Amino acid sequence: MHSMRWSLKRKLILVIIISLFLPFLLLGYLWYNRTERTIEQNAANYSRLLLEQTNNSMNAYLTELDRLAIPFLLHPAIQSFLHLKSDDYYGQFELEKKVRSELYKNLYSSRNDIYKFTLIMNEKLYLSSRDFILDERNRSYLKLLDLDRPGTEFTIEGVNRVEGLPLITAYKVIYDPNQPMNKGVLIVDLKLNKFTELMSSLKLDGFGQAYLLNNRGEYIYHPNQELIGKAAESSNLSGLAGRSGFMTIGSGANRSMISYRTSELTNWTIVFEMPMKYLTAELEQLRTMAFIIFGCIAAVALLLLGSFTFYLIKSLSFVQLLMKRAEAGNLNVRAPEKSKDEIGMLYRSFNTMMDEYRRLIHVEHTSQLKAKEMQVRQKESMLTALQSQINPHFLYNTLGTIHSYANLAGVQPISRMVTNLADIFRYSMDSDAQVVSLWSEIQYIRTYFEIQQERYEDLHTEIEVAEEPRLREIPCIKLMLQPLVENALIHGYQDYQLSPDYIGIFGISTDAGYEIRVIDKGRGMPPEEREQFNHLFHYLTDYNILESDRRPASGSIGLYNVHKRLRLVYGEPYGLWIEKSDVEGTVFRVLVPSDNEAG
């Protein structure tokens, strides 16, 4: 897959975007983000003041209950009622009538926020400004009379629904220090109109809504009265931390700012929710206007830059067209040289380049023909020279005579060695076959091992090759393995005055080709010498194999010859590599093609 090519036009557009658009967009984003945070912080500060004011008003309103209860409890009729006996039904009737006609009418008729006053002494003695039923709720208040010493202030109970109407209930236990004992419970049920009045004032420019939660997370007040007394969703409470603060929830057009304040008196939390779109409406208009102004500036800038670069792009496109024609084979193309500016200089340089290119092609074509002929002859001469180094022709005719004398004398070891040696020289002297099958090379090295085992009684040899029947199809260079085995015998054992005891040859098919490892257990070579050989092997590439005349600094020229012969015939990546060489032995790795198509 070809990588995308960037034209000059695309690069100019990219430069304009980077130098003009991106700075504006970045500054616009920073300005908008900073302004939005400032508006949000200012709105939060203003909301905090409103919440603080509302919280103080609500605390003052609830604290006023104690002041309301004083004239009620000090009234003579209430004092007489508190001292009635349980069976004085007539006294209860008279006092209740008097309380209704005097106390309620005079003291509380002007208070539209009080739904009901109730005074309970026991299950038989009670007063109420409205109809009273001694139900489970009212019986629960009587249990407060059993407390040793209840608080002297009102306790805010929370929301109760009476006849479907949500009410805020507060109660106070009346304690008589003269007796001493708890005489009764005063219960005040308040309408939500005062809370509605206080909470409705929580608005910013007429927007937003407020609600009131108790310490159990239930709505005490909400614009939707159906939610009053019900538990708020956990998502509305998850971000509330501490007694006051603010946070933002949601995203995009649904993003809102929530401010909250928890009362130390009631432990109620006032929550004010304000949609951010109302806070940032003017900011959005400014942003739109800024984008319009920037669009106009960008259009003018693009027009100026476009007219300035049109001539340059057109001229360069023309040069590109001429170069494509030259690539297609038309070497006679020429550019006009009328212009005196940099474009004219470019055109003249192009014409000079094409003239020189035509001249070099003529010279190169002539020299290539000569170079190829010389390269072929040099390659043939190198192969012949390398082969002649390991083909001692003069010995072969002598071996037949030695074999006959050995048989007549009955010396069978000499006869076997001479026969094996004759096979070896017959194999090596076959000049018509420079490339043989790997199977033939393995058979040859088996014969070679038999001769060496006559010399070294302790020598153990091992040959294991995978897919041996297929070795007849795998090509290799003749006499490829013998130099490696000789290197192991001489430099791995004899140089250290050791008797050779093991040489192994192992072959296996890989994805790269057929891999052969020659392993000995000698003392190996110094690390720097191994690195020198591997460096030479790596340096001998297809590009420089004919020009290279580098040799090992010392010894084992046969290794270098094997590698070079493989590279000459098959090219990269085939050849020799010293995989390991240390005091535990040496491992040579030889890679040859896996079929006859290589080379």
What is the Cα–Cα distance from 445 to 438, expressed in whole angstroms? 11
Q: How high is the pLDDT of residue 186?
A: 83
Q: How high is the pLDDT of residue 101?
A: 67
To the nearest 10 degrees (0 to 180), the angle between helices 557-570 and 527-539 is: 20
Look at residues 546, 505, 512, 554 and name the one whose alpha carbon lies nearest to residue 530.
554
Contacts of 423 (CB under 8 A, 6+ apart): 444, 447
Strand partners, 212: 221, 270
| CB 582 within 8 Å of CB 560 | no
Q: How high is the pLDDT of residue 149?
A: 64
479: left (phi over 0), alpha (psi -120 to 50) or beta: left
DSSP line for 441-507: HHHHHHHHHHHHHHH-TT-EEEEEETTGGGGGGSEEETT-SHHHHHHIIIIIIGGGT----EEEEEE
What's the pLDDT tens digit per position in 373-398?
A: 555 555 554 555 455 544 454 555 56
What is the Cα–Cα distance from 570 to 578, expressed in whole angstroms? 19
Contacts of 555 (CB under 8 A, 6+ apart): 491
Q: How high is the pLDDT of residue 530?
A: 92
Look at residues 479, 451, 447 and name the one whose alpha carbon lies nearest to residue 463.
447
Contacts of 568 (CB under 8 A, 6+ apart): 379, 382, 383, 545
Q: How high is the pLDDT of residue 393?
A: 47
**Which of 82-102 are b and which e, b meaning 16 or more Cβ less than 10 Å from the residue's Cβ?**
bebeeeeeeebeebbebbeee
Whole-number Cα distances in Å, 543 to 104, 321, 598: 116, 34, 18
290: left (phi over 0), alpha (psi -120 to 50) or beta: alpha
Q: How high is the pLDDT of residue 2?
A: 45
**Model-level pTM?**
0.42
* Tokens matching residue 181: 């004992």
Q: How high is the pLDDT of residue 344?
A: 77
What is the Cα–Cα distance from 148 to 180, expressed in whole angstroms? 10
Look at residues 596, 441, 583 and name the one whose alpha carbon lies nearest to residue 507.
441
Q: Mapping DSSP to helix (H, G, I), strand (E, B) and coil, where does residue 594 land?
A: coil
Contacts of 156 (CB under 8 A, 6+ apart): 62, 168, 169, 170, 266, 268
Half-sphere exposure for 394 (CA within 13 Å, toward CB): 1
Size of the chain, expressed as the number of residues it contains: 599
* Tokens matching residue 252: 């995009």
Q: How high is the pLDDT of residue 354?
A: 81
Strands (E) in 521-584, as ranges, are 575-582
Q: How high is the pLDDT of residue 389?
A: 47
Residues of the chain under the 50 pLDDT cut: 1-4, 381, 385, 389-391, 393, 598-599
Q: How high is the pLDDT of residue 321?
A: 82
Nearest 5°: CA angle at 450, between 447 and 451?
Answer: 95
Strand partners, 377: none
3-state secondary structure 525-540: CCHHHHHHHHHHHHHC
Taking the alpha carbons of 295, 300, 306, 309 in that order, is the dihedral positive or negative?
A: negative
> Residue written as tokens 């993003």?
255
Residue type, 206: G
What's the pLDDT tens digit per position in 5-45?
A: 566 666 666 776 777 667 777 777 776 677 767 776 777 77
Look at residues 271, 259, 288 and name the one whose alpha carbon lies nearest to residue 40.
259
Q: How high is the pLDDT of residue 303?
A: 74
Pairing of strands 460-465, 502-509: parallel
